[in-house]
Structure 1
Amino acid sequence: MGTFAGRLSLAFGAGCLGGLVNSIVVWFLGDAGLPARFGVQLAPDFTLAWLYPRIVWGGLWGGLMLLPIASRSHLLRGLIASLAPSAVMLLWLLPSAGKGLFGTGMGWLTPAFVLLYNAIWGIAAGFWFALASGQTRRL
């Protein structure tokens, strides 16, 4: 896909897939009680109302795949890109929801879980971006 519109569409799709993979992992680990074992309150119910916005926002964040960062590796690009939604979550969304700076009101290790979960989004999005654009040599 050589056009900007084609690459933007691919980036959005990669971000959506990353959002889906991220959501499944967040739900599964929460349901299994892993965050709770570390004193972190992250165990969402798997509902369409919870899932749909996560996929759409994942797609919007997928636009970061178009930035000229880590151009030798799409996976590394995804990991670097995952820092942006992590920062928004830890510095704006969680504090504005009354969960404290870095979400520590949900448990002291909340930042680690947010970084891990968003890294999963970045890896999935970067992998799909490389695969769908035919650039698997740059994984």
Structure 2
Amino acid sequence: MIAKLSLGFAAGALGGLATALTIWLFGLLGITTALGVSIAPSIGPSFLYGPIIWGGIWGWIFLTPLAAGLPLFARGLLLSLGPSLVQCFVVFPFKLDAGVLGLAVGTLTPLFVLVFNAVWGLVTAATLRTQGGTALPGNRF
């Protein structure tokens, strides 16, 4: 069981790193700003810590039978809705004072949240696949 927990956390953490780098790159290239969303973080330990640690914790959701019958990419995308919902309905309004869905940051913020968390879901699922994730419940990798 420890091996599965470790694998789930590590895959999720890698997905979190990929997400953080995607968010940073979108900000660096001015994509978010051009679309009216004020998300353009500078890269550094304080920015990377949250996505990597929380990505790892969310990686444990792959150990559950949720969406067990779905193929790899569909399962990753479906499970990425969990972190998206928490970001939009807990983190933005209560932690960042950015309102429900983060609309105070920009009207397209919910769309970016879905896209960025989809990166997490796909990278996490792909990592589990390459690292022998077939032992996880219900995975059709």
TM-score (normalised: structure 2): 0.89
Aligned partners of 2:88, 2:133: CA distance in 1, in Å? 34
Aligned partners of 1:75, 1:66: CA distance in 2, in Å? 16
| Selected match of 1:81 from 75, 79, 83 | 79
Residue aligning to 1:133: 132
Residue aligning to 1:114: 113
- Quote the offset at 1:29 in angstroms: 0.8
- Quote the offset at 1:134 in angstroms: 5.6
Q: In the comparison of the two structures, how many residue pairs are matched?
A: 135
Aligned partners of 1:103, 1:56: CA distance in 2, in Å? 21
Percent of aligned pairs sharing the same letter: 39
Please say if residues 74 and 129 of structure 1, whose CA atoms lie closer than 8 Å, have aligned partners that are also in contact: no
Gapped regions of structure 2 (runs ≥ 5): none
Q: Which has the higher helix share?
A: 1
Aligned partners of 1:63, 1:74: CA distance in 2, in Å? 16
- Quote the offset at 1:37 in angstroms: 1.1
Aligned partners of 1:21, 1:53: CA distance in 2, in Å? 12
Gapped regions of structure 1 (runs ≥ 5): none
Please say if residues 90 and 101 of structure 1, whose CA atoms lie closer than 8 Å, have aligned partners that are also in contact: yes
Q: Does residue 1:46 correspond to 2:43, yes or no?
A: yes
Q: Runs of 4+ in structure 1 displaced over 4 angstroms?
A: none
- The Cα RMSD (Å) is 1.5
